[in-house]
Amino acid sequence: METEQVKCLIIGSGPAGYTAAIYAGRANLSPVLYAGMQPGGQLTTTTDVENFPGYPAGIGGPELMEDLRKQAERFGADIRYGVATAADLGSSPYKITIDNDKVIEARTLIIATGATAKYLGLDDEKKYAGMGVSACATCDGFFYRKKVVAVVGGGDTACEEASYLAGLASKVYMIVRKPFLRASKVMQQRVFNNPKIEVLFEHNAIGLYGENGVEGVHLVKRKGEADEQRYDLPIDGFFLAIGHQPNSDIFKPWLDTDEVGYILTEPGTPRTKVPGVFAAGDVADPHYRQAITAAASGCKAAIEAERYLLA
Ligand code: NDP
């Protein structure tokens, strides 16, 4: 198999990966970045980004990522298409296989592979993508001011997103499959105390309807197997909050992860337990998951890589 030696390999092309590439490029590390499955990352699936500092009028998600890519290229980052398919972090240089046909031997590695929002798997989620279906209330909630929305899920994220949306929308339904919320007590209280939020326990969404965007959700209310009631609920926006899956599978044999798969790093730093290997952005962040926090951790990872190579 073809091999290539690089000083700094970055995997992933979201805000963390591109910011790492900008900093590593400016530090003369000649970074090579593989863009992964979804070049540009999760932001390419959203419309307007209004909370990234520096854009008073907002910016389209794909446009922001295109700008970050160009900025990284300006400082010499070698940006390539390809997916990391295997990893050997047993000894330095670290070996990453790309598309099963090439091995990159890297002295430093920045893992910025992100996380993927989970969807229910309904065909209608794809049909109405960007037309009323979203997996990020902070990104898209603003477009539902004074409208009616539903949030699927009963964990901390769902409660947080429902509370956030209640500040904008006229009404928020939570669609929860169990007869209770999994979220922490404090988040549950926040939901129950909010007059705009109505929790629909033991409900499942089985489809969406609407002419030019979401106009409602087909629901099933179930109490045991025998008692099942189907009905349609008019809504304008359908938000998924059923968890994220960090894209860390190939690294798990080498790095510590939490039970979900988020890579564990030294608190406040992107350092993993393997020297010279750093994790930045959503793959190591179950809490904030914002473009700006991902970018910040990508910056830290590149600075760490530079210091590691100098040591
Ligand atoms: P969780 O895994 O905690 O919750 C997922 C929720 O989605 C559960 O209610 C689950 O239902 C539901 N769900 C999963 N799959 C489906 C499905 N196919 N159909 C319907 N419902 C489904 O994920 P979160 O993203 O909420 O939280 C992840 C971690 O991050 C947690 O540890 C959480 O505590 C933490 N977090 C903390 C916050 C804070 O402290 N402020 C904010 C956000 C997250 P069920 O219960 O039936 O399995």
The CATH number covering residue 174 comes to 3.50.50.60
Q: Are 193 and 231 members of one domain?
A: yes
Q: Is 182 in the pocket of ligand 1 (CB under 6 A)?
A: yes
Mutate which of 125, 157, 259, 293 for ligand 1? The one with the most ligand atoms within 8 Å of its CB, which is 157
Question: How do beta strands 102-111 and 94-98 pair?
Answer: antiparallel
Q: Are 214 and 127 members of one domain?
A: yes
- Rounded Cα distance, 301 and 30, in Å: 15
Look at residues 311, 275, 263, 308 and name the one whose alpha carbon lies nearest to residue 16. 263
User: What residue owns the CA closest to ligand 1's atom 30?
Assistant: 286
**What pLDDT is stored for residue 228 in this prediction?**
86
User: What residue owns the CA closest to ligand 1's atom 25?
Assistant: 243
- 154 and 137 Cβ atoms separated by less than 8 Å: no
Domain total in the chain = 2
Q: Are 178 and 268 members of one domain?
A: no
DSSP string, 146-195: TSEEEEE--SHHHHHHHHHHHTTSSEEEEEESSSS--S-HHHHHHHHT-T
Q: Spell out the per-residue pLDDT of the chain, length 311, in tens.
A: 999 999 999 999 999 999 999 999 999 999 999 999 989 998 887 777 888 999 999 999 999 999 999 999 999 999 999 999 999 999 999 999 999 999 999 999 999 999 998 999 999 999 999 899 999 898 889 999 999 999 999 999 899 999 999 999 999 999 999 999 999 999 999 999 999 999 999 999 999 999 999 999 999 998 766 788 999 999 999 999 998 899 999 999 999 999 999 999 999 999 999 999 999 999 999 989 899 999 999 999 999 999 999 99
Single residue among 203, 221, 240 that ends a domain in this structure:
240
Q: Is 261 in the pocket of ligand 1 (CB under 6 A)?
A: no
Q: Which domain holds residue 195?
A: 119-240
| pTM beyond cutoff 0.75 | yes
